[in-house]
Amino acid sequence: MGYPVRLFRLPSLLLLLSVFVVCPSLSAQKNVPTHATALALEHEDPQWPLIQAHLADPATASPERLEMTADVLRARRFPEDALDYYAYALKRGADEIQILNKMGVTELEIGNPQVARAFFQRVVHLKKKDPDGWNNLGAVEYLEGDNGRAISAYKRAIKLRKDSAPFHSNLGTAYFQSKDFEGARKEFDVALKLDPELMVHRGGPGGITMRMLSPADHARFCYELARLYAQHGDEANMLHYLTTASEGGFDVLEAMRHDDLLGKYSKDPRVLLLVHNAEALRTGHQPLTASTAGLSPLPAAQH
């Protein structure tokens, strides 16, 4: 069936089978332990005997029960056991596309991007119009540093599911990493319109696009988010991300002087205060009072 070689090491399957942050380079798979070694390490967890006593029987349980067991194991941080149970579920007739996507994401989480890529490639081979498969494949390419392929895959996912805020957010992140800030703004804007709470409950855009940004890039990223929130008239979040950008060393005031959207805020006392306090935080000096009770209100954002 063309599944990743790693899967053939799972026990009792008769050679069937086994998308804030991830380390900066997931490519170094030589440090990833074998499945058997990783299982042994997982089973040293004091919680394991309690969990093991309630596991579904791979020989008799329904595919739905086996898949649910795998989901629980993954959520409880037993990914190698989760992979086993996803494979058991697949062997007993569970939805192949859904299971392969879950197995790929699990492999990605434990640092096996090449194996994850093989899963997602299998998904889009079996079902060319599976949006999750394309999104997940884009996440692997992003994590591996191939922004061009990531952008292409994310676009395929969006074409199949235009109303997915995470897909647009993921594409925006890939554009940002490629220094296409205009493209990034456009996609983040679409994502925020589809889900106004996206940045709040996800801790920022990305989904499983978790490749770490450098401190400088992260600060610039926060500035772009501040710009996006200003565009939507959300001044509280604008100030929050301007603060984070400034604390990260980004020259907020210099950028605002050349910014048609944020330029009108460059002399606002709240912005001057947050910049001063960010500088004080970086240098160890005493910050100004955070009280803004007597300050003038921010000007209304122009849509």
First to last CA, the chain: 53
Nearest to 88 by CA among 38, 6, 18: 18
CA separation for the pair 12, 45 (Å, rounded): 23
pLDDT at 280: 87
Helices 79-91/63-75 angle, 10° precision: 170
Say yes or no: 6 and 114 in one domain.
yes
pLDDT at 16: 26
Nearest to 34 by CA among 56, 9, 17, 64: 9
Asked which of 95, 127, 159 is the last residue of a domain, the reply is 127
pTM of the model: 0.72
84 in any annotated domain: yes
228 in any annotated domain: yes
Would you say 194 and 168 are in contact if contact means Cβ atoms under 8 Å apart? yes
pLDDT at 112: 92
pLDDT per residue as tens digits for the range 96-144: 999 999 999 999 989 899 999 999 999 999 999 999 999 999 999 998 9
Say yes or no: 121 and 229 in one domain.
no
Say yes or no: 122 and 238 in one domain.
no
Say yes or no: 111 and 227 in one domain.
no
Say yes or no: 108 and 13 in one domain.
yes
pLDDT at 205: 40
pLDDT at 200: 58
Within 8 A by CB and 6+ apart from 208, the residues are 19, 105, 108, 136, 139
Q: Which parts of the chain have pLDDT scores under 50?
A: 1-2, 5-29, 203-212, 291-295, 301, 303
Q: Which long-range contacts (CB under 8 A, 24 or more apart) does 131-135 make?
A: 131/156, 131/157, 131/158, 131/160, 131/161, 131/164, 131/167, 132/19, 132/101, 132/157, 133/97, 133/100, 133/101, 134/160, 135/19, 135/164, 135/166, 135/167, 135/170, 135/207
Domain count across the chain: 2
Say yes or no: 6 and 122 in one domain.
yes
97 in any annotated domain: yes
Asked which of 127, 151, 170 is the last residue of a domain, the reply is 127
Would you say 125 and 1 are in contact if contact means Cβ atoms under 8 Å apart? no
194 in any annotated domain: no
198 in any annotated domain: no
CA separation for the pair 133, 67 (Å, rounded): 18
pLDDT at 164: 93
Would you say 303 and 293 are in contact if contact means Cβ atoms under 8 Å apart? no
Nearest to 215 by CA among 71, 26, 9, 24: 24
Asked which of 127, 147, 164 is the last residue of a domain, the reply is 127
159 in any annotated domain: no
Nearest to 154 by CA among 142, 30, 94, 144: 142
161 in any annotated domain: no
222 in any annotated domain: yes
Q: Which domain range does residue 71 map to?
A: 1-127
Say yes or no: 119 and 218 in one domain.
no
Amino acid at 129: K
pLDDT at 31: 64
CATH of the domain at 23: 1.25.40.10
pLDDT at 287: 63
CA separation for the pair 245, 255 (Å, rounded): 11
pLDDT at 291: 45
